[in-house]
Chain A
Amino acid sequence: MKAQTLRTLIIIALIVLWELLPRSGLVPELFLPSLSSTLIAGWTDAGEYGHALITTLYEVAIAMLFACGGGILLGAIVGSLPRPRILIMPIVSSLYAVPLVILYPVFTVWFGIGAESKIAFAAIYGFLPTMLATAAGIQTIDPQLLLAARSMGATMSQRLMRVVLPAAIPTVLSGLRVGGALVIVGVVVSEMLISSAGIGYLISRYRTVLDSPHVFAGVLLVLALAILFNAAIRLLERKAAIWQTGTRGAARDVASPALQPAT
C-alpha cells in the first residue's frame, strides 16, 4: 500500500475512533467528548470562536512578522560576519534551550495582559530558531559559488542578492517552519496563561467549567491553524525545490512530506 493512502486511512481511523470511543462509553465524555459534540459545541458558539480566532490570528500575524523578519535579518548579519557570530551565537544557542515560557509573567508585567504581551512573547519564541537557521544557512553556502561570482566581476551587493540570498532560501524556509510553528504555540500558550481573549483563553476558560466539547472545539481550531501554516510553508518549499537539489542533496530529504511531523 502506498504511504499516502495508508496515511489517509490512519487519519480516517482516528476520526472514527474519536466519534465511537466516547459514544460507546469506553472513554468518559468528560475526558474526550465525541467529535460530533465537539463540532456542535463549536458551531453553536461560532461567533465566540470566530471572534477569538481573529484575536489569535492578529497576534500570530504580528508576532510572525517580528519573529521571521527579525530572525532572517539578524541571522543574515550574524551568519555572514564572523565577529558577531562568535559573540552572539553561543548566547542565542543556549537561550534556545531555556524554556522561555518562564519569562511570560514578566512580559505581562511589562506589556499588560492584552495582545502586546502575547505578541512580544511569541515573537521572541519564534525568533530564535528562525535566526539560528538563517545564520546556519548563510554559513553553509558553498564558498566556491561566491568565488565563481567574484571571478565574473560580481560586486559585494550583487553577491549578496544573487548568490547568498537564493542559496540560503532552503535553510531559511526550514527555520521559518519551526519558528512559525513556535509563534503559534507561543500565542496560544500565553493566551491560556493570562489573558482575556483569543482561542487559548477560550480553551482555558471552558476547561475551568469542565465543558469538554467547547475545550476540544478550541483545540481543533488551533490544530487547523497549525496544519494550514505547515501546508503554506510546504507549498513555498515545493516552489523552491530547485534550490534544494543539486548542491544540497540532504535538504531535499528533510523537506519530503514523509518525514514531516504531523504538527
Chain B
Amino acid sequence: MQPLANVTPLNPLARAGAIEVRNVSQVFKTANQDVVALSDVSLDIRPGRFVVLVGPSGCGKSTLLMMMAGLQRPGSGTIRINGAPIEKPDPNRVGVVFQEASLFPWLTAEDNVEFPLALRGVAKTERRAKAEEALKLVGLEGFGKRHPHELSGGMKQRVSIARGLVQDPPVLLMDEPFAALDEQTRMTMGDELLRIWAATGKTVVFVTHSLTEAVYLADEVVVMSARPGRIVDTLQVQLPRPRTYDMLSGDTFGALRDRIWRHIRKSA
C-alpha cells in the first residue's frame, strides 16, 4: 500500500488512476474445446505506477488489457478504475494505444489527436488547443498538419500516444505499442514514453513481448503464463530513475530478466 496523506480517508484503490482487477476469468469456446484465456486473475495497480504485463503468446495479457479498456467484458470478476467498475470504453478514465498506430489515414495528425474530442462535440478552438498541447508533449510540435503516411513509424506512435492523452485520462493502456518499430526507434520511444510518463504522472499498463523492454520501463513487471492465463509472478524493479542505457548490462537488470525468462520458458 502506498503511504497516504493522513487527511485522505479514501481507499487508495478509489483514487484517480488506480486499477483494481478482481477474480477475472474468461473462457473462449471453440469448436472442439474451451480455452481458458484468463483464470482468476487479481491485480492491484496503484496510481501513477508503470506496470508491464509480460508472458508467452496466448497468456491473455492483451485480453486483460482490452478488458481494462472496456473493449471486452470479463466472463466473470470485476475491473474497477478510479474505484468505479469499467463496463464500456470510457475515454475520460482510460486512453488506449494499440500496436499498429491505428491512426485514421484520411485525417491529419492533429485531426487524429482531436478525434476523441470531436466525438464528444468539443468546440473546434478548444480541440485544436488541446491537440497542440498533446502533440507538443510527445515531441511533435509543428507536425500537426501532416497525414499519417507522411510520418515515420515512431512518429505515428507518438501521435497515437498524444491521442490517448488528449482527454487527460488518469490511465494509459498500451498494447505492444512499439512491437512494429525497429530496435533503435524502439529504444528511443521507450525513453520518450518514460519522459512523458514522468511529466504527466499517469498510471501506465504496458503489454510487451520484450523482456528487456519490460524491465527497462517498469516499476513492476507482472508475469503471466498461458493456458490457463494467470499471474505467476510480480517483480518490483528497483532500478533508479531515470533509467539509462548502461543499466541494461548491469547485474540487477540481468537477474530480473532471467527470472522472468525462467517463468516464461516453464509455461511456454
- Cross-chain contact A166 with B106 (CB below 8 angstroms): yes
Q: Mark each residue of chain B from 87 to 117: 1 if its CB lies under 8 Å from any CB of chain A, else 0.
A: 0011100101010101011100000000110
> Which residues of A lie under 8 Å from residue B91 when comparing CB positions?
151-153
> Given A150-B71, A152-B119, A246-B147: A167 and B106 within 8 A (CB)?
yes
> Which residues of B lie under 8 Å from residue A224 when comparing CB positions?
none
> Which residues of B lie under 8 Å from residue A240 when comparing CB positions?
106
At the interface, yes or no: A163 with Cβ under 8 Å from chain B? yes
At the interface, yes or no: B17 with Cβ under 8 Å from chain A? no
Give the number of chain B interface residues (Cβ < 8 Å). 23
Scoring A151, A153, A158, A167 by chain B CB atoms within 10 A of each residue's CB, the highest score goes to A151
- Cross-chain contact B96 with A153 (CB below 8 angstroms): no
Residue among B96, B104, B120 making CB contact with A151, cutoff 8 Å: B96
Shortest C-beta distance, B84 to chain A (Å), equals 15
CB proximity to B under 8 Å, residues A150-164:
150-155, 158, 162-163
- Cross-chain contact A154 with B105 (CB below 8 angstroms): no
- Complex Cα distance, B119 from A142, in Å, reads 20
- Complex Cα distance, B220 from A106, in Å, reads 75
- Cross-chain contact A153 with B104 (CB below 8 angstroms): no
> Which residues of B lie under 8 Å from residue A151 when comparing CB positions?
69-71, 89, 91, 94, 96, 98
Majority SS of interface residues in chain A? helix
Shortest C-beta distance, B122 to chain A (Å), equals 12
At the interface, yes or no: B144 with Cβ under 8 Å from chain A? no
Scoring A149, A153, A166, A247 by chain B CB atoms within 10 A of each residue's CB, the highest score goes to A153
> Given A153-B91, A153-B119: A148 and B106 within 8 A (CB)?
no
- Cross-chain contact A243 with B105 (CB below 8 angstroms): yes
At the interface, yes or no: B149 with Cβ under 8 Å from chain A? yes
- Cross-chain contact A242 with B106 (CB below 8 angstroms): yes
At the interface, yes or no: B229 with Cβ under 8 Å from chain A? no
> Which residues of A lie under 8 Å from residue B147 when comparing CB positions?
242, 245-246
Residue among B102, B115, B116, B148 making CB contact with A147, cutoff 8 Å: B102
Q: Number of residue pairs across A and B with beta carbons under 8 Å?
A: 65
CB proximity to B under 8 Å, residues A129-150:
142, 144-145, 147-150
Q: Nearest residue in B to A246 (C-beta to C-beta)?
A: B105
Q: Mark each residue of chain B from 143 to 174: 1 if its CB lies under 8 Å from any CB of chain A, else 0.
A: 00001110000000000000100000000000
- Cross-chain contact B96 with A148 (CB below 8 angstroms): yes
> Which residues of A lie under 8 Å from residue B116 when comparing CB positions?
152-153
- Cross-chain contact A158 with B119 (CB below 8 angstroms): yes
Shortest C-beta distance, B202 to chain A (Å), equals 16
- Complex Cα distance, B147 from A248, in Å, reads 13
> Given A153-B89, A153-B116, A154-B119: A148 and B102 within 8 A (CB)?
yes
- Complex Cα distance, B102 from A154, in Å, reads 15
Q: Nearest residue in B to A158 (C-beta to C-beta)?
A: B119
> Which residues of A lie under 8 Å from residue B90 when comparing CB positions?
153
> Given A151-B91, A153-B120: A242 and B105 within 8 A (CB)?
yes
- Cross-chain contact B104 with A145 (CB below 8 angstroms): yes
Residue among B69, B96, B98, B104 making CB contact with A166, cutoff 8 Å: B104
The chain B residues found within 8 Å of chain A, CB to CB, are: 69-71, 89-91, 94, 96, 98, 100, 102, 104-106, 115-116, 118-120, 147-149, 163
User: What are 20 A-B interface contacts by the 8 Å CB criterion?
Assistant: A145-B104, A150-B71, A151-B70, A151-B91, A151-B94, A151-B96, A152-B91, A152-B119, A152-B163, A153-B89, A153-B90, A153-B91, A153-B116, A158-B119, A166-B104, A167-B104, A243-B105, A243-B106, A245-B147, A246-B148
The 8 lowest CB-CB distance pairs between A and B, nearest first, are A246-B105, A152-B116, A246-B149, A151-B96, A148-B102, A245-B149, A144-B102, A153-B91
Taking A152-B96, A246-B105, A248-B105 as known contacts, 4 extra A-B pairs with beta carbons closer than 8 A to each other, sorted by chain A number, are A150-B71, A242-B106, A246-B147, A246-B148
